[in-house]
Amino acid sequence: MSNSIPLLCLPFAGAGASFYFPWRNLGVDGLDIQPLQLPGRERLVGEEPYTNVQAAADGLLPTALELAGRGPVAVFGHSLGAILAYELAHRIADNGANEVVHLFVSGSQGPWNGRTERATGLDDDAFLARVQEFAGYTHPAFDIPEMRELLLPTLRADVEMHESYVPTSARKLDAPITSVRGVDDHLVSAQAADHWRDATTGAFTAFDVPGGHMYLDDDAKSLLALIAETLSTGAEG
């Protein structure tokens, strides 16, 4: 792992760090997968979840710096995680201890777009139906009443965090940004994903890959190969 770049991974709404654990075993060289855990789930299930992206990024920063070490670091996030990754990348860069060499945003429109379709405020059944409609995906745990009761408050907090997000600054990230979306993603259009080019002073690249909004649940290895190749090319260039 000595030649691998830490890839800090931010979860999508309702997910925990464990979603990314299997990525470590996919045999993609050059990446040191380091998932970040948000409160309100898994080992932090007893902690109050964030409902504000800025507060979440502030809270995640100390752990992110610890996982990054003292060298170059890349950041990845999907959907809500893309927004968290963007805010966190700014904070890591501002801290000065690490060079953010790349930001990878997945299944996400640009940070200044805003979410027009909303689920916040709906009753439980309508809320879950709307989230499933957005993502084209629902975790089977929500079919178990006891698990649904346990997980729903955190999912609601995550969705509120995403839907209420407004960047506090128009300042661009110096690191290059790569945007990845499923070609059949009906939640995030190619045009909306392309708006990430406005968030960097560096290079911008957009990729459409097979699948829908949750394409990465079906083919994580291809995504990681794309990330590793991008980082390798950047290092060589």
Query: What pTM, to 2 d.p., does this model score?
Result: 0.90
pLDDT digits (tens, 9 = 90+) for 135-164: 655 666 677 777 777 778 888 888 888 888
The pLDDT, as a whole number, for residue 216 is: 94
Q: Are 179 and 207 in contact (CB under 8 A)?
A: yes
Helix ranges (DSSP H) in 111-164? 124-135, 145-163
Residues 61-79, mean pLDDT to the nearest whole number: 94
Distance between CA atoms of residues 162 and 83, nearest Å? 8
User: Average pLDDT over the chain, rounded to whole?
Assistant: 88
Q: What topology is assigned to 5-236 in CATH?
A: Rossmann fold (3.40.50)
CB-based contacts of 142, cutoff 8 Å, min separation 6: 128, 148, 151, 152
Can you give the pLDDT at residue 236? 43
What pLDDT, on the 0 to 100 scale, is given for residue 175? 96
Instruction: Quote the CA–CA distance of 180 and 235 in Å, as a whole number.
Output: 20
pLDDT for the residue 1: 45
Q: Is residue 225 predicted with pLDDT exceeding 90?
A: yes
- Locate the domains of the chain by residue range: 5-236
> Backbone phi, then psi, for 105, in 5-degree steps?
-115, 135
| Element (DSSP H or E) covering residue 103 | strand 100-106
The answer to whether 32 and 6 have CB atoms below 8 angstroms apart is yes
Q: Note the pLDDT tens digit of each residue in 88-111.
A: 999 999 998 889 999 999 999 999
